[in-house]
Amino acid sequence: MLTLKLLREQPDRVIERLAVKNFDASEIVSRILEADAQRRACQTQLDASLAEQNVRAKEIGALMKQGKKEEAEGIKQAVADLKRKSAELEAKMEEESKRMNDLLVLLPNIPCDAVPAGKGAEDNVVVREGGEKPNLPEGALPHWELAKSLDIIDFDLGVKITGAGFPVYKGKGARIQRALISFFLDRNTKAGYLEIQPPLVVNEMSAYGTGQLPDKSAQMYYVNLDNFYMIPTAEVPVTNLYRDCILNKSDFPVKMTAYTQCFRREAGSYGKDVRGLNRLHQFDKVEIVQLALPENSYDALEEMVRHVESLVQALELPYRILRLCGGDMSFTSAITYDFEVYSAAQGRWLEVSSVSNFESFQANRLKLRYKDENGKTQLAHTLNGSSLALPRILAALLENNQDEQGRVRIPEALQEYTGFPMIG
């Protein structure tokens, strides 16, 4: 959530930068500032009313001591009127505060100056590429056919048990899933990230704190009996570990990693892009999260991008890194780098990670603060990234490493985790 201070001091900049996200904020900003002005006017009147009540209360005490009971009773009536006025002002303040907050949560985070304008994915900027696209043998299969022939993933069983988007991993398919999770976690902890095992369901405050609510409510699985939400990413519970916290400068950076299953409704997704592992409702993902001082958060972002890049390189996958344009960014992000790996049998790039700096947007919702050198509380910055999401990584590993016999080679860095060099 954007801070009220920013909206008061730089409303034109907020409107200008949100236009980069193709979001017209002019009306909402105007209404927020109007509600804020009304709230502050009520606060001024309330302060004056309370001050007058204190003065009158002292007058009553003095008159009673002098035996001037009748005069005191007259002032008591005036005090009663002031109390009624104060109650009305307090109610008006609450009303304006609610109106203001209801509008504030509708504003996305402003993109930083490095974010290019654009409408969608076609306007994203390729920052760099790495690896080599493989030359596949004749008759190479897409991963959903390859997985079936190797009997390592059963999509039909998943449909039988639950529905589309819930595959069943079998034998070496299950083993390579476990191998990838351990590989990512080990690499992350060696890079200084503390491993966390968080809950897979969160309450409404947690989903609100990281910006999933109200913006992404339609994409989340909701447990209505308990008012819980299934997590769409480990970012939600891990970042919320520090909700309502005040840290010291010496506590930074805070670096955490977690493996979780993730749940997304993916409403509106259809067509060829959802085949096989391309788009699932339940999937495994390892996440990295950082809390940083504002002056260090962009160095932290670069560090996280380089770390995720090292993971993709270790898996010998051709990749590219994109800086997302304003029109393709999330509601909460100030800047995002997407990682895509090349899926050779499909002939297309698959997104496997988003690494984002949210600056103080989430921290403002979370009330995640720190004390600066002057003892004053300031908002921290939050960052997160996939390291990595498994389904499309596995899809690319299967497709890119298949041979003429329909077997799949396991990348060398992963073999100590799988215990085998080949599937098939």
Question: Which tokens sit at 13?
Answer: 């900049």
Concatenating the DSSP letter of every residue in 90-158 gives HHHHHHHHHHHHHHHTTSPPPPPTTPPP-SSGGG-EEEEEES----PPTT---HHHHHHHHTSEEHHHH
pLDDT above 90 (res 70): no
Distance from the first to the final alpha carbon of the chain: 51
pLDDT above 90 (res 169): yes
- Supply the angle between the helices 172-190 and 297-314 in degrees, to the nearest 10: 140
pLDDT at 152: 98
pLDDT at 423: 97
pLDDT at 30: 98
Share of the chain above pLDDT 70, in %: 99
Of 93-107, 270-284, 371-385, the least confident: 270-284
Between 233 and 76, residue with greater pLDDT:
233
pLDDT at 320: 98
pLDDT above 70 (res 98): yes
- The most confident of 55-64, 152-161, 266-275, by mean pLDDT: 152-161
Given its phi and psi angles, is residue 118 left (phi above 0), alpha (psi -120 to 50 degrees) or beta? Answer: left
Q: Find how far residue 23's CA is from the centre of its chain.
A: 19
Looking at residue 231, the DSSP 8-state letter turns out to be -
pLDDT above 60 (res 72): yes
Query: What number of CA atoms fall less than 13 Å from residue 248's CA on the CB side?
Result: 2
Q: Give me the domains of the chain, ranges plus CATH numbers.
A: 4-104 (1.10.287.40), 121-423 (3.30.930.10)
pLDDT above 70 (res 270): no
Confirm if 223 and 230 have CB atoms less than 8 A apart. yes
Percent helix, strand and coil across the chain, each to the nearest 5: 45, 20, 30
Looking at residue 410, the DSSP 8-state letter turns out to be P
pLDDT above 70 (res 268): no
Confirm if 408 and 398 have CB atoms less than 8 A apart. yes
pLDDT at 78: 84
pLDDT above 60 (res 272): no
Tokens 């351990």 sit at which residue? 182
Q: Is the omega angle on the peptide bond into residue 411 within 30 degrees of 0, that is, cis?
A: no
pLDDT at 2: 97
Share of the chain above pLDDT 90, in %: 89
Looking at residue 241, the DSSP 8-state letter turns out to be G
pLDDT above 80 (res 229): yes
Question: Which tokens sit at 282?
Answer: 């339940």
Strands 228-230 and 222-223 turn out to be antiparallel
pLDDT at 127: 97
pLDDT at 59: 82
pLDDT at 273: 74
pLDDT at 269: 59
Mean pLDDT of 20-40: 97
Mean pLDDT score of the chain: 95
How buried is residue 367: exposed, middle or buried, by Cβ count under 10 Å (0-12/13-18/19+)?
Answer: middle
Interior/surface letters 89-123, b for 16+ CB within 10 angstroms, e for the rest: beebbeebbebbeebbeebbbbbeeebeebeeeee
Q: Where does the pLDDT of residue 309 fall: very low under 50, low under 70, confident under 90, or very high at 90 and above?
A: very high
How buried is residue 244: exposed, middle or buried, by Cβ count under 10 Å (0-12/13-18/19+)?
Answer: exposed
Q: Which tens digit of pLDDT belongs to each residue from 390-424?
A: 999 999 999 999 999 999 999 999 999 999 999 99
Q: Which tens digit of pLDDT belongs to each residue from 126-159?
A: 999 999 999 999 999 999 999 999 999 999 999 9
pLDDT at 7: 97
pLDDT at 74: 77
pLDDT above 90 (res 220): yes
Q: Where does the pLDDT of residue 114 fall: very low under 50, low under 70, confident under 90, or very high at 90 and above?
A: very high
Name 22's Cβ contacts closer than 8 Å, sequence gap at least 6. 119, 326, 327
Strands of the sheet with 228-230, listed across from one edge: 201-203, 228-230, 222-223
Given its phi and psi angles, is residue 165 left (phi above 0), alpha (psi -120 to 50 degrees) or beta? Answer: left
pTM: 0.93
How buried is residue 270: exposed, middle or buried, by Cβ count under 10 Å (0-12/13-18/19+)?
Answer: exposed
pLDDT above 60 (res 347): yes
Of 272-286, 319-333, 348-362, 379-393, the least confident: 272-286
Confirm if 1 and 29 have CB atoms less than 8 A apart. no
